[in-house]
Amino acid sequence: MKPIIGIVPLVDETKDSFWMLPGYMNGVSEAGGIPIMLPLTDDKDEIAQLLDSVQGILLTGGHDVDPAVYGAEPIPECGTPCRERDIMESELLRQALERDIPVLGICRGIQFLNAYLGGTLFQDLPTQRPTDVEHHQTPPYDVPVHKVKIEKDSGLYRILKTESLDVNSYHHQAIDRKADSLKVMAVSEDGLVEAVEMPEKLFVWAVQ
């Protein structure tokens, strides 16, 4: 039986639509899973029923995380958040972590995971943490633009068996203060956190 992986939907308010990038779906399929896009809901019972039906959760990219999630006021450079996603992902994470269901966060996923667990974010890297390292590349987006250092005592190193990796990069928010329950797996050349894990859980990873 292939594991079913629930993927948090992307939201386009201008088109009043929920949608999904093929890369998320194809990535799950290529890894041996069956991807399904979850509905956008904050109903606790519905989320519980959804988690009964999946073997893992993928937190996707998308809107900036609302600074209210980590107790901050928005700066002008912060993008418009999606309150519905923030609420849904809070409940989804609460239940998934309680059940120890595997979770993978990507882009916004690493940012929201850190914020949910008590960490904070840079709302806009060019404004709050300027650097010469390219974190917001232009197309083509599959071309590596900087390196990350992988910590040798991390789950990422156990899989990749390397201390350095060339990566692409497209984000303007990132982890500022790391949540205490998270462990750093990789950092960029300028020291920005690029990957984290929750060591006490079966599998809770997130990458920038």
Q: What is the pLDDT of residues 102-116, one digit of tens each?
A: 999 999 999 999 999
Q: For the residues 21-33, what does the mean pLDDT come to?
A: 98
What percentage of the chain has pLDDT greater than the value 70? 100
Do 153 and 129 contact (CB within 8 A), yes or no?
no
Cis peptide before 199 (omega within 30 of 0): no
| Res. 68 pLDDT band, cuts 50 70 90 | very high
Nearest CA among 78, 87, 89 for reference residue 122:
78
| Res. 137 pLDDT band, cuts 50 70 90 | very high
Q: Which two tokens stand for residue 163?
A: 């201390």
Do 177 and 123 contact (CB within 8 A), yes or no?
no
Rounded Cα distance, 170 and 141, in Å: 8
Do 65 and 86 contact (CB within 8 A), yes or no?
yes
Q: For the residues 56-80, what does the mean pLDDT come to?
A: 98
Rounded Cα distance, 92 and 44, in Å: 8
Q: For the residues 171-197, what does the mean pLDDT come to?
A: 98
pTM > 0.95: yes or no: yes
Rounded Cα distance, 207 and 47, in Å: 24
Amino acid, single-letter form, for residue 82 = C
Q: Which two tokens stand for residue 118?
A: 């008590």
Do 100 and 107 contact (CB within 8 A), yes or no?
no
Please give the sequence-ordered ranges of beta strands (E in DSSP) within 60-163, or none if there are none. 103-106, 121-122, 146-150
Per-residue pLDDT reduced to its tens digit, 156-178: 999 999 999 999 999 999 999 99
| Res. 74 pLDDT band, cuts 50 70 90 | very high
How far does CA 16 lie from the centroid of its chain? 23
Q: How far is CA 10 from CA 79, 90, 126, 176, in A?
A: 15, 16, 25, 24
Question: What confidence score (pLDDT) does residue 162 get?
Answer: 98
Architecture of domain 4-124+172-207: 3-Layer(aba) Sandwich (3.40)
Average of per-residue pLDDT values in the chain: 98
Segments making up each domain of the chain, as ranges = 4-124+172-207
Residues 6+ apart with CB under 8 A from 23: none
